[in-house]
Structure 1
Amino acid sequence: MIECKDTIKVGIADMNIVKAPNVIRTSGLGSCVGVVVYDQSRELAGLAHVMLPDSSLTRSGSLNIAKYADTAIKELVSILMKNGARSYSLKAKIAGGAQMFQFTSGSDMMRIGPRNVEAVRKELADLHISIVAEDVGGNSGRTIEFNPKTCLLNIRTVNKGIKDL
């Protein structure tokens, strides 16, 4: 029997979950960080495409929780738990956080990629979720795809090829 799998796409400042045999993918990871949280034994995974480190920076009244590291990861874990994941089994893989533009000012505000990576690491640590693999930094964009059956994170980096974590 051939298993039919679908690819669930996650947009920028978006999140979703997937159960095997389906896979989950996001593209356009420049300074953004793709955060995969998964429960291997349940073959269940979630992906958040985090754009910014901290929701306190928001100006508008309506908050897109998927956009910020501090809100997206908590919400993603909550959705995974409601769908059968167990907190003690959760692990994470992350990719992205590139410094896409070179600035001479050295202003911390312009270090969006590195600040996103720091914020994602902090949120995962606060939730006691270990990062088992990562491909962060640099200055190239990435597309990632996660398979909850194999727990492999496939990373395509612009001008750098493909690798699995």
Structure 2
Amino acid sequence: MTLVATGTEHLARMGEQVVSADAGDVLACVGLGSCIGLALIDRRATVAGLAHIMLPAAPASGTPNGKHADHAVPALLEAVLELGAARHRIDAVLVGGASMFSFGTDGGQQVGARNAEAVHAELAKLRLHPRAEATGGTRGRTMRVRVADGRVVYKEAGGTEVELFSTPVGLRVAA
């Protein structure tokens, strides 16, 4: 199913985040391979944010930015709160983290798995817990979030669109 809205589709490119309180908007991440698309959604307030996270953590000598989970997750939370989301109503949804690349002679550390672990760790620090996720595997994905109702769909490369998250407002999905 395609998420159709009367507003605009806003694309979160690598290292970027998009947020909206416009019920007509759809937020999207295209080409999530080892990257993680993280959606933070408050359906009651009609607020959603989406970050396209590339790496687990900023290097000690580098400047933190939206490419890294340790910066992107708290920055996305702050952005949705500024638009009127209430922390206790936020649903987190993750997509991506595929095993696209392997480094090292013994198979190395999988970047996608490390990204997913880092996002989970950052969410835990903020006392947020994923309500749904589609991570791992070996195929890239595209995800879309409809701001009006918080519905999240994703599509694997070569696959069909799958609804990942959609519950009535006020109903919490057990973690």
Per the alignment, residue 46 of structure 2 pairs with: 43
Q: CA deviation at 1:154?
A: 1.1
| TM-score, L = length of structure 1 | 0.89
Structure 2 unaligned spans of 5+ = 165-175
Per the alignment, residue 101 of structure 1 pairs with: 101
Pairing 1:17–2:16 present: no
Identity of aligned residues (%): 32
Kept after mapping to 2: 8 A contact 1:13/1:64: no
Q: How do 1:1-165 and structure 2 match up within 5 A?
A: 4-19=6-21, 20-55=23-58, 57=59, 60=62, 63=63, 65-102=65-102, 105-108=106-109, 111-165=110-164
Kept after mapping to 2: 8 A contact 1:12/1:28: no
Paired residue type of 1:80? V
| TM-score, L = length of structure 2 | 0.84
1:105 counterpart SS class:
coil
The size of the alignment, in residue pairs, is: 158
Distance 1:58 1:157 in 2: 34
Larger strand share, 1 or 2: 1
Distance 1:152 1:4 in 2: 15
Paired residue type of 1:15? Q
Distance 1:85 1:40 in 2: 9
Summarize deviations over 1:59-88 as a string: whole Å, max 9, x none.
55xx35210001001011111111111111
Q: CA RMSD in A?
A: 1.6
Summarize deviations over 1:110-147 as a string: whole Å, max 9, x none.
x1100000000111111111211100000101111001
Q: CA deviation at 1:58?
A: 6.1
Q: CA deviation at 1:162?
A: 1.4
User: Greater CA deviation, 93-102 or 24-33?
Assistant: 93-102
Larger helix share, 1 or 2: 1
Distance 1:136 1:152 in 2: 17
Summarize deviations over 1:89-130 as a string: whole Å, max 9, x none.
11100000000135552222xx11000000001111111112
